[in-house]
Structure 1
């Protein structure tokens, strides 16, 4: 039976002590509210469906995300960690003051729609976010609730993110480089004072490796003799071996022979020492922006080089399985999103097939004639 007492502040406190359950208490403005809560709670205990909601009511989304970034995020890859910290700040700005118990599907759906429509910038202009950006933000929020329920023991009846529609995934970029654009881009990157910049761009378009995979390469991973690169840490956590074209082999040979490489680092592409004296991967964000502008390719992204490489593998006649072995795509659906064939190239291929068809038909006719004469 619940105990209802009036506190010194004028509120009413309901205290429930029931065998097999932890002591539970909550304060209300009126005695009737306290009695109603106590009755409902005792009924839930009898039916075995009681969930202790007090921790969820006390913990805000901001506090939960802070704990998540401290305990869960460090177990993920470095690139993922940086992205989650940025997404967390967005979620905190919109939903940080809500308690976990107060956050329902309707509020989460409003957050989704607001992000898709766009947050106002400092000038009041809306900046819409892509479907994929919002999908990733919702994924982080949803996993936060999953961890809170399953691992932190936060009493919540359901995950509110699982009850809303996720934005449809984008169709993927289809930006390709034509030969003239590639020449302009390579000329622009070659003007940079650091040759590593040009080597990285060429390797990306020749191998289809991700920037993170190229930037973190160690000397021991590059086998010039066998013309392969062995990737140990990839986005999907599956190691793979990437074959090198003749051009990629030439570039890697130059990079490994870099006379400026200090003895204390194994990185193929190294940056200046940090405050701790450790050299980290070479960063070239500003150089890339300047090179794109100089080449007139401001709409081009570094990741588009991977799209270009994968598309060229397909155009060269490699099978889907061969291309996925090189690129690391686990599903044919993802590979399809990253592969964009030029329509004009397909026209040329159709023309070649059309020219072969009459010859093949003639050969079959001659073979049939020989068979008949022999008979």
Structure 2
């Protein structure tokens, strides 16, 4: 039984049940009693069934609680759940089942998403449901999301994302840079410089627009990338600047500026959109900005660098992961063997 105690002009509700104590202060006795009754009812349902029914709560409210708990730990999750909230946030949790989830995935595919992308949305919302089931003890059907993915796969859809195996050639990279250089105007995003830096350093788009003047050491030919992507936790990484052209670009953009200034003070999303639009215009289908990272890694491997050396540039802690960035031919292996005197 809850106890309500008056303290001054306010009322303190105290609920003790199953070794757990919860208390909260309200401006009126009625509010305190209503809260205490709600807590006791929830505790009773959990004790009886293990979970509590979500009742009138919506998907949007669950996503908000997920965010408030600090579970959105990267921009991708935040972006996906923002779209999910817009698409299906109005559903009551009790009304969103397998059929509704499948219809949502099919709508995303009809809007232009690949089946693999639709599955990413489904899986991410599934994580929110699992969190609600464990952390909030809500009686949620978390299994429907895996069932939807299985249904799409058995229906003939390719639910696994395609590997990024399209790598530009040297000629294509020079063509892209040449096009951006010829169309650049002062005050606009210097795409020709950004593409050159990406192709020479294997830096991601977000990393390029985040590095500061203070991160660049011209004398040591090094650039420090703060909080670089890592499978376990982000961390700072210092990479070598291997080409004189990129060194000159960075030096010219840093000269006379404050250490806290961004080297490329532009919106990363704009960079990505411009690159994608230009690839379509040039007829270079299948190329995305991330393809430049593959290009750099493959080029370094082809030049004879060992995987440990290349990992210093790309910051891969798992060398096995670096293998997907290497695309060597038998002819290149023969050339390397001849240079080493093996054949």
TM-score (norm 2): 0.70
Whether 2:83 is the aligned partner of 1:64: answer no
CA RMSD for the aligned pairs? 3.7
Do residues 129 (structure 1) and 130 (structure 2) align? no
CA distance in structure 2 between the aligned counterparts of 1:108 and 1:326, rounded to whole angstroms: 45
Alignment of 1:80-99 (within 5 A): 80=76, 84-90=78-84, 92-93=86-87, 95-99=88-92
**Alpha-carbon distance change, 66 to 157 in structure 1, aligned in 2, over 3 angstroms:** closer
Provide structure 1 residue ranges, at least 5 long, that are not aligned to the other structure: 1-18, 26-40, 122-126, 272-279, 362-375
The CA deviation string for residues 332-354 of structure 1, in whole angstroms up to 9 with x for no partner, is: 4432333333x3xx31432563x
Q: Which residue of 2 aligns with 1:110?
A: 102
C-alpha distance in structure 2 between counterparts of 1:264 and 1:229, whole Å: 13
Q: How far is the alpha carbon of 1:157 from its aligned partner?
A: 6.4
Which among 253, 256, 266 is matched to residue 254 of structure 2? 256
Aligned equivalents of 1:360, 1:325: Cα separation in 2 = 27
Cα gap change, 1:172 to 1:64, in 2 (>3 Å): same
Residues 216, 269 of structure 1: 8 Å contact kept: yes
Contact 1:199/1:252 (<8 A) preserved = no
Q: Is the aligned partner of 1:140 residue 2:124? A: yes
Of residues 245, 262, 271, the one that matches 1:267 is 262
Unmatched tracts of structure 2, length 5 or more: 1-16, 19-36, 154-158
SS at match of 2:224: strand
1:215: which partner in 2?
209
1:156 corresponding residue in structure 2: 139
Match of 2:288 in 1: 301
Distance 1:160 1:211, change over 3 A: same
Cα distance in 2, alignment partners of residues 281 and 178 from structure 1: 24
- Name the CA shift for 1:199/1:142 in 2 (closer, same or farther; >3 Å): same
Q: Which residue of structure 2 aligns with residue 15 of structure 1?
A: none
| Number of residues of Structure 1 aligned to a counterpart in Structure 2 | 293
> Where does residue 327 of structure 2 map in the other structure?
340
Does structure 1 residue 181 correspond to structure 2 residue 172?
Answer: yes
Structure number with larger C-alpha Rg: 1
